[in-house]
Structure 1
């Protein structure tokens, strides 16, 4: 269990992020067209998991915009934006913003991704959503970087995540 804050008030996640150096847990998430994809679908590529509570909040939207900008310059890398939002909301946001360099993926059906990656919030007003975190997976499926953002209203360390890709 990780302790994080929401505007200074302590809340908790179901577990902790996978550790750097270990194999990334595979997952199945829903795409904006309602098809599903797994981490194993990206085998041989680097993957940035931009994890957040909801696309409809300012910081979450800012992280999607920031990673979309960075992703245009990254080779052999996919940026997956993961939340429990419905795929329709994710698609609407990126369509309205003209964001085409990130892949939105939803954990709305089972929430299993949130449990396996330790990011499901277990108490407080955001219970059931994902905490803000970034996980970088190398082309061999190994965790190269993991950041549990300590305050939900704070942006992740984009520079550290991007640096972990090299």
Structure 2
């Protein structure tokens, strides 16, 4: 279990993030076209997993916009934005914002991704959603960088995450 805060109030996640140097757990998430994708779909690419509670909050939207702006310059890299939002909401947001350089994926069905990656919030007002996390994987699915943002309302360290690529 990890401790984070929401507005300065302590809340907890169900576990700990995958360790740097380990192989990332496989996942199945839902794409905007309602197809199911897994980690295997991105084999051979470096991945930035931008994980957050909901696309409809200011900090979450900012992280998607920020990674979208950086994504074109990243060689052989895909940015996956992952939340428990419905694929329809993710598609609406990116469409209205003109964001085409990130891939939105939803963990709405069972929250298995959040549980398996140890980042599901287990108490407080955001219980059941994902905490704000960035995980970077190399082309072979090896974890190169992790950050669980201590205060969920804060943005991740974009520079450090991107430097790990």
TM-score normalised to the size of structure 1?
Answer: 0.99
Match of 1:21 in 2: 21
Partners in 1 of 2:155 and 2:40 — Cα distance?
Answer: 28
Secondary structure of the equivalent of 1:70?
A: helix
Are residues 1:64 and 2:72 paired?
Answer: no
CA drift at 1:73: 0.5
TM-score normalised to the size of structure 2?
Answer: 0.99
Aligned length, in residue pairs: 165
Match of 2:128 in 1: 128
Structure 2: stretches of 5+ with no match in the other structure:
none
Match of 1:82 in 2: 82
Secondary structure of the equivalent of 1:160?
A: helix
Partners in 2 of 1:69 and 1:119 — Cα distance?
Answer: 25
Are residues 1:155 and 2:155 paired?
Answer: yes
**Structure 1 stretches of at least 4 aligned residues deviating more than 2 Å after TM superposition:** none
Instruction: Kindly report the root-mean-square deviation, in angstroms, between the aligned alpha carbons of the 2 structures.
Output: 0.4
| Cα deviation 1:24-81 (Å, max 9, x = unaligned) | 0010000011001111111111000000000000000000000000101111000000
